[in-house]
């Protein structure tokens, strides 16, 4: 079976936020297009890697070829996709998922830099990054699933979580 991985004019386009992580962007693209991670992987012709990428499991890291195929389907440039990944040489932590509530209040997106190994504070707000909900201690889901922008357990909005 061959699936055309060229232009898909019927798909909704989603504009990336500056600094957005790939996981968060892929979730925002999939939802209005009613695509599962494997459905998106199939459309792009890149197989089952999308679910792993959404959990930041990047071993091996996305190849240029895979990113080019994905870029055609989500209709952003390969450079925009690469900007959603950590820069070369920057270590990453795929868990726990971290959050600056003040950033999220300004722009509702998970920023890639929050998962960098050496980053513990938001360098815009000088706030310690949250690694769990400060109200109920629930861990944050993979950013691809941040549909509602709130804690999955106590429903506190991400943008209103207290930070010290």
Query: Applying CB under 5 A, which residues contact Zn ion?
Result: 100, 102-103, 122, 124-125, 133, 135-136, 138, 151, 153-154
Smallest distance from Zn ion to CB 98, Å: 11
CB of 122 to Zn ion, least distance (A): 3
Helices (H), the chain: 22-30, 37-44, 49-54, 64-74, 78-82, 101-106
Closer residue to Zn ion in complex, CB, 75/152: 152
Name which of 51 and 150 has its Cβ closer to Zn ion.
150
**Residue closer to Zn ion (CB basis): 48 or 154:** 154
Provide the minimum distance between the beta carbon of 162 and Zn ion in the complex, in angstroms, as a whole number: 12
Return the DSSP state at 142. P
Closest distance of CB 145 from Zn ion, Å: 15
26 vs 39: CA distance, rounded Å: 12
Query: Which is nearer to Zn ion, 26 or 122 (by Cβ)?
Result: 122
141 Ramachandran zone, left/alpha/beta (phi>0; psi -120 to 50): beta
Tokens 């959990």 belong to which residue? 55
Beta carbon nearer to Zn ion, 24 or 30:
24
Distance of closest approach, residue 2 Cβ to Zn ion, in angstroms? 45
Distance (Å, whole) CA 107 – CA 109 = 6
137 class by beta-carbon count within 10 Å (0-12 exposed, 13-18 middle, 19+ buried): exposed
* Rounded-to-integer distance, Cα 90 and Cα 3, Å: 35
């Amino acid at each position: 079976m061959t699936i055309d991985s060229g232009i898909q004019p019927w798909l909704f386009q989603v504009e990336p936020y500056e600094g957005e992580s790939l996981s968060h962007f892929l979730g925002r693209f999939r939802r209005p297009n009613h695509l599962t991670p494997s459905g998106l992987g199939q459309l792009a012709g890149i197989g089952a890697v999308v679910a792993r990428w959404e959990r930041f499991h990047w071993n091996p890291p996305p190849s240029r070829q895979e990113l080019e195929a994905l870029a055609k389907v989500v209709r952003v440039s390969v450079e925009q996709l690469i900007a959603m990944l950590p820069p070369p040489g920057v270590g990453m932590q795929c868990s726990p998922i971290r959050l600056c509530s003040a950033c999220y209040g300004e722009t509702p997106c998970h920023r890639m830099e929050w998962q960098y190994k050496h980053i513990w504070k938001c360098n815009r707000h000088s706030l310690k990054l949250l690694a769990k909900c400060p109200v109920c201690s629930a861990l944050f889901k993979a950013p691809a699933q941040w549909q509602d922008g709130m804690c999955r357990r106590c429903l506190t909005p991400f943008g209103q979580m207290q930070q010290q």
